[in-house]
Each structure stands twice: as C-alpha cells, then as structure tokens.
Chains A and B, each alone.
Chain A
Amino acid sequence: MSIKILLSYLVLAPIVGGLLAGLDRRVTARMQNRIGPPILQPFYDVLKLFKKETLVVRPSQTLYIEFFFVLTVFTGALFFAGGDLLLIIFALTLAGVFFVLGGFKASSPYSVIGAHREALQMMSYEPALMMVAVGMYMVTKSFQITDIIHYPKSLIMVLPGVFLAFFFILPIKFRKSPFDLSTSHHAHQELVKGITTEFSGKTLAIIEMAHWYENVFVLAIVYLFFASNVWVGLSVSLLVFLSQMLIDNATARVRWQALVASSWLVALVLGGANIIYLMIRG
C-alpha cells in the first residue's frame, strides 16, 4: 500500500506541483487583470531551462542544489510513506540547509544576502512547523503520518491555533508575498533574484522542480488537519493554495524584522495557546 503511494508520489507530485504552479500564474494574472499564460506554461519553462547552458560562479554550487533536490524529494517521500513527522521536518530542514549553502557557495553578494534571508525564513517557519508535529502528537499520541491520517476525528477542531500559526507561515514555503524575502517568482525583487541570482539553466530548472515537490508536501500537511474526510481535505488544501495567491497579490514584501517577529509571535501565541488548551483538556 505505502509503496504504491510512494511511487505515485514520486511520479505525480511534480505533475501536480507543476499544474498548481500553472494555476497560480493564471489566477494571479486574472487578479492583475491580465489573461495569463497557459496552464502548462511552468512545464514549458522548465523544459526550456533544461536545454539552456548552466552558468556558474563556483562549479560546486550546482552540487548543493542537486542535493537539495534529492533531499526535498526524500522529505516528501518520507511523508507519503507514512513516516515520523518530526523526522520529516528534520529532513526538510536538511534539504533547506543545502539550498542555503548553494546560495552561499555561489559567492555572489546577491545570492549570499538571499541565502541569509532564506536561513532567516527557515528560522521563522520552523517553530510553527514543529508545533504542528507537537500538536498532532498530543491529539493522536503518535508522530507517524499513517496514524495521524487515520485519526477518526477532524484535527482542525482541536488544533485551530496550531493550524493558524501554520497558515501564517505558508507564504514562506510557497515563496509568496509578504514573506518572499529570499527569492520570488515576481520581477519586483530588490535583490535581483535573491538566493537564485547565480543559478541558471538546468540548476534553475531543478530548483523549480524541487519547489513543485515541496508545494505538494506542504499542502499534504494542510490536508492532515482535515484528513478525516478526503473531499473536505482536498478542497481545503486547494482553497489554502488559492488563498496564497490572494495574499501574494494583496500584500507587500516585509522586512526581515517583521518576518521573524510576526511569525514567532503568531506561533508562540496561537500555537502556544492551542497547546496549553490541549494540556488542560488532557
């Protein structure tokens, strides 16, 4: 069973992720009163990038990114194989660290600042993400995804604070305003292209594909909160994804101070309150 899911994840995740990216561009375009590209545009882009020459500043910078890709896929695979949520978060961090190191290794002022911001973003979302694990463990008494997903009741009913804290940091993971500090899909980037400034061709394509895998994984965590009903879970995940577009187009990028302070505060207050509630409830 889990092997089948695992294999379908490996094959389907980039397709779903790419389609979601296409949907994203379309919806965003409509919000901005444009028609937007075809839904399949992200696939065309990536295929074209693969054909292009890969320019680098330091030859090893691509190795970090290739490894980042492998680890990101691995993280998702652990999730869909029903693994331990804490371990999955650690694997995600490991993947993220390689991305950051790739940015440092590129040895360009823009990518290095981008890498710092990426690390700050990781520091900002980590508490909320860990609270998801803690909260779900407190309710289901297990860190295993297989146990969490088969929990008979809807987790959102007892973990609303944790969910909101998690929702708050989602723009970081989807690389959306107001938290797209390290790099962004938009052209309005004050740091050239941030952490990805020095990545091109095949390497940039790999970063994009890792992003697709990651998006599917992040939405799967959203799904966990509503897993007691498959259709509710899927539709809420899609709604959450669409909400990111709205947030992206309605907000301006914040400074890192606001990023760290707000995400930590929200995690501490909402997540913390939720966990205290669970402790009292027993």
Chain B
Amino acid sequence: MQNHVPFLLYFLMLFPLLIGALALVNRWSSLFKKFIYPGVIVLIVVSIGLLAIGLKGSPIFVPAHFSWIEPFMLIIEVLLAAYILFLALRRKDMIVSILIAVQTGLLLWFHFGAGHSAHVENNLFIDLFSVIMGLIIGVIGSLIAMYAVGYMEDFHAHHEEVKDRRPLFLGLIFIFLSAMFGVCFSNNLMWLLFFWEITTVCSFILIGYKQDDQSIANSFLALRWNLLGGLAFLIGIIVLFKTHHTIALNEMMSLPGTLVLLPVALLCFAGLTKSAQLPCSSWLVGAMVAPTPVSALLHSSTMVKAGVYLVLRFAHQLQGTTLGLFVAMVGLITFLIGSFICISQNDAKKILAYSTIANLGLIILCAGVGTYEAVWAGILLIIFHAVAKGLLFLCVGGIEHETGSRQVEDMTGLIVRMPKVSVMLQIGIAGMFLAPFGMLISKWAVLRAMIDFSPFSAVFLIFGSAATLFFWVKWLGKVLIVDKPYENIEKGIPTGQWIAMGTLSVLTVFICGFFAWVAHNLIDPYVAAIYGNVMVLSKGNIVIMGIMLLMVCLFPLTFLDYGSGVKLSDPYLAGANVGHKGQYQAALEVKDMEMKNYYLNDYFNEERLMYLGVILGVLFVLGLFVLGGA
C-alpha cells in the first residue's frame, strides 16, 4: 500500500481541482452536475483510504520533483496577486494593495535571488496528523460541498437580488478543497505557502459572493489579515533559509526550538491570523456574511484549522519557550473572550463564529504549551470541533432558509416546526459542550494538560468553560419551547442537504463512541513519535464515558413513554388561559405569551469584550515577537 502513497496524494490534491474546473467552465456545467455526487463519494472513499496506508509514527516522504511545477506556481501566484491588486486599487484599499505588492515583490526577489538555490529533497509528505486533517477535509469537506449544491439553489430562490454565480461558487469550493489537501501534505514550505495563499483567495472571493457593500467590505477585511499572515509566513521562510539554508518543514521541525525562534514566531503569527485569534478575530465574524456552506467549510471545519495545524506542528519547539508562552496566552484570551461574547449573541451564525474562534483559541493554547498531553488534546479538539461545528452550521443554514431567520430568538418551537433538523441541531449543540460528547472529552484532556503544565492557566480555562455551558444550554432550551401550535415546514430541504446533515449527526455521536480507537490509532502514535510519551486516559474512565454515552443515546427511547400517565393542562400565566394554550385574557385583549432568552448584554457586551480582547491580543502578539522571537 505504501507504494501508492504518491498517487494517493496527487489524486487528493488534483481530483477536487478537476471537479472545480468542471464547475467553473460554464460549458461543462451539465457534466459537473452529473459528476458532482459520484465525485463527492469518490473523494470521501479515497480520503478514508488514507487510513489504509497503515501509517505509524514516522512520516512517508514523497519527492514530487517536476521541473515545471515551481514556475507554474509562481505564475499563478503573480496572476492572483495582480488580480487582487487590481481589485484593491479599484477600491482604494491601500493596506491590501501595499501588502500584496510587498509580498509579491519579496516572493519574486526570493525566487530569482537567494531562494533559487533552495532545494527540498521531498516536496510532499504524509504523517498521521496529515491523515487526520486529510480525513476532515475529505469527508467533512465533501459533505459540505454536497450540501452546498442544494443550498445554493435555494439561496438564489430566496435572494433574487444576488447575481447567480453558482459555477464560480461551487468551483471555488472544490478548488479550495484541493488547496487544503495541499496545505496538509506539503513539506516544502514554499508549496505550503502557495496553497495557503490559494485558500486565502478562495475565502476572499467566497466571502464577497453576494457583492453587496457589507460582503465586499468584510471580504477585504478578511483579506487584510490573511495577507498580513501570508507576508509573515513568507518572511519566516526567507529568515529560515538565510539562517539555516533550508525551506523544508521536516528539517525546520527537527531543529532545536531555540535556533529557529524567529521563523517559528513568524509562521505562528501566520497561523494566528488564519485561525482568527485575537487581535485578528474580527475578520472571521465578518466572514459570516457569506452563504452558510462557506462558513461551515472555510470558516469553521477546515480553512481556519490550517492555522492551528501549522502552529501545532511547531508545538514541540514552542514547549517551554517564552514564545510558546505568548502563543498560549493569545489562545487563552481568545478562548475566554470568544466564549464570553457568545453569551450576548442572538444571531446563530455569530454564536457559531465566536465559538469557533474560542475553540481555535483552545487549540492554540495547547500548541503554545506544547507538552505531549497538550498536543494530544489539541488534535482531539481539531477532530471533534470540525464534525460538530460543521453540523451546526449546516443546520443553521437549513433553518435560515425554511424560517427566514437565523436568530436564536426566532427558533421557538423549532422542535415542532422542523423536528428532524432540530434534533440534528441538538446533537450538534450537545456535541459542543455536553458530557460525554466530543468537545467535552477534548476539554477534559485540555484541562488535564493545563493542570499538569500550569494549574493557574487551568483556573482561567474553567471560567471560559462555565460560560460555554450557559450559552449552549439556553440555545438548546429555546429550540424545545413550544408556545403555540406550529406547522411542520421542513419538507423543502433537498436530499443532498439531508445526507450531509444526517451523516454529520451520526458522525458526531459515532466518533464519541470510538474516540478511544481514534486516539489509539491516529493520535497516540503521532504524539509518541515526537515526545516518546502519550496521554493516557484510564480504561475505567473510558468505560464510564461509554456508559454515559449509552445513557444519553437511550434518552430518545424514553419518548416511547410520551404522554403516558400525565394529564395535559395549560401553562400558568397569572391570568385566565384562553384560545390555544399559550394565550391569556389581559385587561383589554387576548394576548400571546412570549418568552425571550437571557443575553446578559451589560455583562458580556460584544463591543467592550472585543475591545479588551484586541488590546490584550496586540500586547501578546508584540510580546510574541519582541520577547519570544528574539
């Protein structure tokens, strides 16, 4: 099987590109429609095939030397840069123009100057961490792409003012998948940067898809931060080359942390921007203007994970350094601030965005700490978060189309209006915060790692965790309230969306049941290869987790007992109940009862917390470079 690794990697990097090309070229659109579903299935099957390589601790390297490839990448990069420069100049966005000009200048200077002598023995590689990322991209990414086809049809039916550019949309989604595979399989840092920048451009165009003022403004905001990160990435590579004469990821990782502090700091900063850590978080919140599949795919399940992927790669070098400490601090405050802000949010997508930022913060915290326990916990978080959060975004997308609103306040009675979707939504929410589901298992691991590293950091973690509990449970509760008779309105959801949401729901529960297996076969060998040590969760605790999972899964069975032995009555409304159950006789008229959620806006105000977060974020990032990188 190991002989086929190069082909497997090429296939995963090129096949989505092919589907994307089919979508992009209008003439082939009928071909695209025919191939989309089989294509998605092939992609899922092949990514699962990554497991069949039977990787253990050590990576497999693939030379992948083609004489045309580097000039080809350069041409693409220059063309993209020219395109962005043109757009930025037209919009008079000086920051973007300067960033892109400087970056491209540096790139050309490096390529034709010093970098010309750079030689990387193996351009591609795969290890267990890449396999995990590949599975997330291949399985979850493909499912979201499948969801996107039906969703966009609905989207344009609902938004007639938006120009129908579906081929572009779907094409970019698939091209993005290719680039993500590239990010995870690249060993040559210049290649990694190339794919990294492709994801940035995909994200930029997709955020601006609606082409209204808001979307365009937010797409440029995202571009600014990501280009800044890209620039840091490039400078990091150049510094690394100047000091150690290498641009290979594996060689960089094998150097002692103290020797490569500055390049690691620069690459970590690039990771922080990509993962929307403070002070760069605002771009991810803004990115929520994009159609929901984009938010699900790029801005929660995969692209933002590229940032944490990169930082986690350097965890071993960050361990015990001042640089690592500052990276950890950025992650910690991002987790805290993000979790607190969620409490005051009513827009479901904003809750998901802030919670994504917070969870990425948790992973960054793990990477900065860099102990084997922390890295173990960080990878577990990546897996569980990708599944549950992807599911939540897809559910919210479906709900928004059917009810016309994505405010949590408008989700009253959802359990009756959209029973299946609301059950999936509940699975997703439970997956995010409730024992024994994935995110809680991960948080447990993070907590244990933090207590062993520095109990004081665990103290802060605890408060963020408590906030998480509150905002999820009130959303979960809101869905269950039935205040008046409703009609079922979920029939309009297309099959592709059902398949995507259903599979992710099953996965959310399934992975929890098999998390010990996942940890043992995928995470343990990777961590053991680096540290010689792995996180051990005692058998007894895993059994108890299993019992809890079984109990929670049995809860739906209690509904067999629905309505037996109870007598229906009206809610107490401090007045005479009239009409349907939820109405009462007020002084002059019959009124409906109304229930609103708590948002504690004076305490967990978005603007104030964000302001504080940005200040702290800037301080920590400065510390990262000044104290950590030197």
Which residues of A are in contact with B by a Cβ distance under 8 Å?
Answer: 53-60, 62-63, 66-67, 70-71, 74, 78, 83-84, 86-87, 90-91, 93-94, 97, 100-101, 103-113, 115-116, 119-120, 122-124, 126-127, 130-131, 134, 137-138, 192, 197-198, 202, 257, 260, 264, 268, 271-272, 275-276, 278-279
Contact = CB atoms under 8 A, between A and B. Distances in A.
Given A108-B593, A279-B454, 7 more contacts: A54-B567, A57-B571, A83-B540, A83-B544, A101-B476, A120-B470, A278-B455
Nearest to A59: B563
Contacts of A202: 565
A8 B556 CA distance: 30
Interface string B475-506: 01110111100000000000000000000000
A282 B548 CA distance: 35
B610 interface: no
A279 B482 contact: no
A164 to B, nearest CB: 15
Nearest to B595: A112
B292 to A, nearest CB: 26
Contact of B569 (A57, A84, A91): A57
Nearest to B461: A130
B469 interface: yes
Given A91-B435, A101-B476, A127 B466 contact: yes
B582 A107 contact: yes
Contacts of A63: 555, 558-559, 561-562
B108 interface: no
A7 B375 CA distance: 40
A119 B463 contact: no
A51 to B, nearest CB: 13
B545 interface: yes
Contacts of B569: 55-57
Contact of B462 (A57, A130, A137, A279): A130
Interface in B571-630: 571-574, 581-582, 593-595, 597-598, 600, 603
B572 A94 contact: no
- Most chain B beta-carbon neighbours within 10 Å: one of A63, A74, A275: A63
A143 to B, nearest CB: 8
A264 B463 contact: yes
A93 B435 contact: yes
Nearest to A275: B455
Nearest to B482: A107
B68 interface: no
Contacts of A119: 469-470, 473-474, 477
Contact of B568 (A56, A97, A124, A268): A56
Contacts of A124: 466
A130 B446 CA distance: 14
Contacts of A109: 571, 573, 593-595
A272 B470 contact: no
Chain A interface, DSSP helix/strand/loop, else mixed: helix
B451 interface: yes
B87 interface: no
A104 to B, nearest CB: 3
B454 to A, nearest CB: 7
Interface residues of B, number: 62
A126 B440 CA distance: 14
A135 to B, nearest CB: 8
Contacts of B571: 57, 106-111, 198
A218 to B, nearest CB: 18
A276 B456 CA distance: 7
B535 to A, nearest CB: 14
A123 B467 contact: yes
A74 B595 CA distance: 32
Contacts of B600: 260
Given A90-B436, A260-B603, A56 B567 contact: yes
B455 A134 contact: yes
Contact of A120 (B435, B483, B568, B598): B598
B455 A279 contact: yes
A138 B455 contact: yes
A56 B467 CA distance: 31
Contacts of A53: 567
A137 B477 CA distance: 34
B567 A131 contact: no
B434 interface: yes
A90 B454 contact: no
B570 interface: yes
A104 B469 contact: no
Contacts of B595: 107, 109, 112-113
Contacts of A197: 572
Contact of A94 (B476, B480, B552): B552
B458 interface: yes
Contacts of B527: none
B444 interface: yes
Nearest to B554: A67
Contacts of A137: 451
A130 B462 CA distance: 7
A70 B551 contact: yes
20 contacts: A54-B566, A54-B567, A59-B568, A60-B562, A90-B444, A93-B469, A107-B480, A108-B573, A108-B593, A109-B593, A110-B572, A119-B469, A119-B473, A122-B470, A122-B473, A127-B463, A130-B447, A131-B459, A138-B451, A275-B456
Contacts of B405: none
Interface in B522-571: 538, 540-541, 544-545, 548, 551-552, 555, 558-559, 561-563, 565-571
Contact of A268 (B459, B597, B598): B459
A106 B483 CA distance: 9
Contact of A104 (B477, B552, B562, B568): B477
Contacts of A268: 459, 463
A126 B565 CA distance: 35
Nearest to B541: A84
A232 to B, nearest CB: 27
A257 B603 contact: yes
- Most chain B beta-carbon neighbours within 10 Å: one of A58, A272, A276: A58
A201 to B, nearest CB: 8
A53 B173 CA distance: 57
Contact of A192 (B483, B572, B603): B572
B435 A94 contact: yes
A157 B454 CA distance: 22
Contacts of A116: 474, 477, 597-598
B322 interface: no
Contacts of B561: 63
B115 to A, nearest CB: 47
Contacts of B573: 108-109
Contacts of A55: 566-569
A57 B480 contact: no
B346 interface: no
B465 interface: yes
Contacts of B552: 94
Contacts of B559: 60, 63
Given A90-B435, A107-B483, A122 B459 contact: no
